[in-house]
Amino acid sequence: MTIDDVTLARALHVLAVMHWIGGVGFVTLVILPLAASRSSANDGLTLFEAVEHRFAAQIRLSIPLAGATGLWMTWRLDLWDRFADPAYWWMAAMAGLWLAFMLMIFVLEPALHDRFARQARIDPATAFRRMGCLHALALVIATLTALGAVVGTHGVIF
Ligand code: HEM
In a domain, residue 147? The reply is yes
Residue nearest to atom 11 of ligand 1 (CA): 70
Is the Cβ atom of 14 under 6 angstroms away from ligand 1?
yes
**What residue numbers bound the domain in which 88 lies?**
5-153
* pLDDT (tens place) for every residue of the chain, 158 residues total: 899 999 999 999 999 999 999 999 999 999 999 999 998 888 998 999 999 999 999 999 999 999 999 999 999 999 999 999 999 999 999 999 999 999 999 999 999 888 888 888 899 889 899 999 999 999 999 999 999 999 999 988 88
* pLDDT reported for residue 21: 98
Q: Which residues of 21-50 are buried (b: 16+ CB within 10 A; e: fewer)?
A: bebbeebbeebbeebbebeebeebbebbee
In a domain, residue 128? The reply is yes
pTM of the predicted structure, to 2 decimals: 0.95
In a domain, residue 137? The reply is yes
Residue nearest to atom 29 of ligand 1 (CA): 146
Q: Number of H helices and number of E strands within the chain?
A: 6, 0
In a domain, residue 12? The reply is yes
Pocket probe mutation, ligand 1, options 153, 156, 157, 158, max atoms within 8 Å of Cβ? 153
Pocket probe mutation, ligand 1, options 4, 8, 13, max atoms within 8 Å of Cβ? 13
Is the Cβ atom of 59 under 6 angstroms away from ligand 1?
no
Is the Cβ atom of 145 under 6 angstroms away from ligand 1?
yes
In a domain, residue 158? The reply is no
Is the Cβ atom of 47 under 6 angstroms away from ligand 1?
no
123: region left, alpha or beta (phi > 0 left; psi from -120 to 50 alpha): beta
What domain count does the chain have? 1
* pLDDT reported for residue 119: 85
